[in-house]
A and B are shown apart, each in its own frame.
Chain A
Amino acid sequence: MSSNHSTIQDQVRLPLRVAWGIVVQGIRIRLGRSVVTLLGVVLGVAFLMSILSSSLLRSRVMGEIQARQQTAAMVGFLLAESGNLAGRTLVIWRGAEPDDIEKRFLQEIFRPGAARPLEVKDFAPTGVDDRPSLIVVLGGTLPSDVWESISPHLRQPVALFTRNPVSDPSAKGVLLRRPPSEEDLQREAQKAAQERVRTTWILCIAALVTIISISNALLMSVTERFREIGTMKCLGALSSFIRRVFFLESALIGLVGGVAGSLFGLLFAAILYALGYGWGLVFGSLPILPLLGAMLICLASGIIASILAAIYPAGVASRMVPATALRTNI
């Protein structure tokens, strides 16, 4: 008989399929308890995901609000400096590739009816029939020879800079955008660090609670199945096989709970922010890639937490003596 020549190694390899079958059928049959276990994972992962995604959403929403405020401030400054822009020519000097705020600023002043700005890179006075009101320097600095050639043709010899302060002393320049002060940045960073410590602490406790609750549910499953485990041991199952059944079951619960939990957590955080800041603002600027990254983190933590939680119950199950199958009471 060929099975007589097999070794323990054969016994370890082959029943993975069997273990998987036992796990899937076990979960299906004991659906009620599996759902309770699953809920523990879903809640834990949803909590983690809501914290991760709300910090992503917050920075995105705050960034958006800040950008809008800055753009509005720049446009306001320009209007205050030059009066109504309608029908007037502006010279836009692109000193560098415009950043996000500068693009928004351009969009604002190019809005129909707002102005008729003339965008030039290499200013040639002969080509301009109208006397431009102002020169706006987007990024970078303005070379002094360019300034010298343009300024006589300007109605007001003033250059508006969006990024760098005026470098040319002869140019009468105004900075449109005020960069955040060192102090502000420091305060922000400090606040963020404090927030991080607090969140990490809460997350650790949540992870612990989740792991303990999964562990407890699995332990119940072990005691519920003492006869099944003992029987399998009588039939020749190795301890490692029994362990594998519980690890597989737990990992599967972790996977399903991780997917469901991260979706719920994201939805929860997004709806909460949308209620606070408006649906368009939140859903219009969803940071898709970072959110996908956060979901992967949540999925992995769900599975890892489940596997950690299974260590003790799987050990209890694998140490169960086969003779428990013979016990008739209990």
Chain B
Amino acid sequence: MPVTTARLDALKIRSGDDSGSCVIRAVEVKKIYRMGTVETHALRGATLEIYRGEYLSIMGPSGSGKSTLFNMIGALSKPSSGKVYIDQVDVAQLDFDELAWFRCRKIGYIFQTYNLIATMTCLENVTLPMSFAGMDAEAGRERGVELLKLVGLGERILHKPSELSGGQQQRVAIARALANRPDIILADEPTANLDQRTGGEMIELLARLRNDLGVTIISATHDLKMLKRSDRIMWINDGRIQKVARPGEIDFSSDEFH
């Protein structure tokens, strides 16, 4: 069945209270991985709401279920039980191709390792999601140039990723994430491979984009600067959400952050 906006509209939940403000809602999400007879409970019932236009940081040690939660709210996989609504659409009801269609238009991804396609120029990397979305090549190029200017790489559009520094590559990745005007940007440790200064620039760029474009930014991070810059911080441990707090309520000098 072809995906259309009409089909997505039909899948949307009809609940009056949070229809505008809540961009992601997860209810009692559980995820169980089975390897032979061994069951791993990666998520043991996570319930959360992420608001439109907010800057949310997710923290958690490795094995805490952070990546799994990240995959759920990024429409990369489906929960074993529970519900995930992204922009009010129940993700579990989409098939693989519909998920791809959905990711293409609703979510922009930023990776720790940048993940630019090495064989393509910066501009081609940025326009790739647009061609997946069926955008005309000429219009795509125009928008790509515009986006690269927006992230401060206006003059390097025809360079290959290998000719750029890590910070510049991550800027290209951010431009690529914005390609199809997504509602949500999902960033997985976006500053982990960058030095302090470049990482700081990246955090400021994301904050600026959030303010200018109103895009929701969700990042998994341990970067103190990033945590301080975010609207809310969410802790995950042992497959559950431990606590959610605003940066003002947290003592960043505690051992947990060093």
Name the A residues within 8 Å of B104 (CB-CB).
Answer: 11, 235-236
| Residues B101 and A8 in contact, CB atoms below 8 Å apart | yes
| Residues B2 and A18 in contact, CB atoms below 8 Å apart | no
| Residues A325 and B115 in contact, CB atoms below 8 Å apart | yes
A185 at the interface (CB under 8 A from B): no
CB distance from A219 to the nearest CB of B (A): 19
Name the A residues within 8 Å of B252 (CB-CB).
Answer: none
Name the A residues within 8 Å of B67 (CB-CB).
Answer: 323, 326
A22 at the interface (CB under 8 A from B): yes
Chain A minimum-CB-distance residue to B104: A236
Segment of A24-32, A135-143, A152-160, A203-211 in the binding face: A24-32
A4 at the interface (CB under 8 A from B): yes
| Residues B71 and A7 in contact, CB atoms below 8 Å apart | no
Q: What is the bound-complex CA distance between A228 and B104, given in angstroms?
A: 16
| Residues A322 and B132 in contact, CB atoms below 8 Å apart | no
B4 at the interface (CB under 8 A from A): yes
Segment of B16-24, B118-126, B200-208 in the binding face: B118-126
Residue among A21, A236, A325 making CB contact with B101, cutoff 8 Å = A236
Chain A minimum-CB-distance residue to B220: A326
Q: What is the bound-complex CA distance between A21 and B71, given in angstroms?
A: 29
Name the A residues within 8 Å of B74 (CB-CB).
Answer: 234
B129 at the interface (CB under 8 A from A): yes
| Residues A14 and B117 in contact, CB atoms below 8 Å apart | no
| Residues A323 and B117 in contact, CB atoms below 8 Å apart | no
| Residues A325 and B111 in contact, CB atoms below 8 Å apart | yes
Q: What is the bound-complex CA distance between A228 and B116, given in angstroms?
A: 8
Residue among A1, A3, A8, A13 making CB contact with B97, cutoff 8 Å = A8
| Residues B129 and A326 in contact, CB atoms below 8 Å apart | no
Chain B minimum-CB-distance residue to A19: B131
Residue among B76, B119, B130, B180 making CB contact with A323, cutoff 8 Å = B76
Known A8-B101, A26-B119, A227-B113; contact A235-B3, beta-carbon cutoff 8 A: no
Q: What is the bound-complex CA distance between A7 and B2, given in angstroms?
A: 6
Residue among A13, A323, A328 making CB contact with B113, cutoff 8 Å = A328
Q: What is the bound-complex CA distance between A2 and B176, given in angstroms?
A: 19
Name the B residues within 8 Å of A10 (CB-CB).
Answer: 134
Segment of A192-200, A237-245, A255-263 in the binding face: A237-245
Name the B residues within 8 Å of A13 (CB-CB).
Answer: 134
| Residues B128 and A321 in contact, CB atoms below 8 Å apart | no
| Residues A1 and B103 in contact, CB atoms below 8 Å apart | no
CB distance from B179 to the nearest CB of A (A): 8
Q: What is the bound-complex CA distance between A230 and B115, given in angstroms?
A: 9
B87 at the interface (CB under 8 A from A): no
Name the B residues within 8 Å of A321 (CB-CB).
Answer: 76-77
Known A18-B131, A25-B119, A227-B113; contact A4-B105, beta-carbon cutoff 8 A: yes
Residue among B70, B124, B188 making CB contact with A21, cutoff 8 Å = B124
Known A1-B181, A17-B137, A239-B97; contact A8-B118, beta-carbon cutoff 8 A: no
Known A4-B5, A321-B77; contact A235-B101, beta-carbon cutoff 8 A: no
Name the A residues within 8 Å of B117 (CB-CB).
Answer: 22, 228, 231-232
A111 at the interface (CB under 8 A from B): no
| 14 A–B contacts from the bound complex (CB under 8 Å) | A3-B105, A3-B130, A8-B97, A11-B132, A11-B133, A14-B131, A15-B131, A18-B128, A22-B120, A235-B129, A236-B132, A236-B180, A325-B115, A328-B189
Q: Which residues of B pack against A, CB within 8 Å?
A: 2-5, 67, 70-71, 74, 76-77, 96-98, 100-101, 103-105, 109, 111-113, 115, 117-120, 124, 128-135, 137, 176, 179-181, 188-189
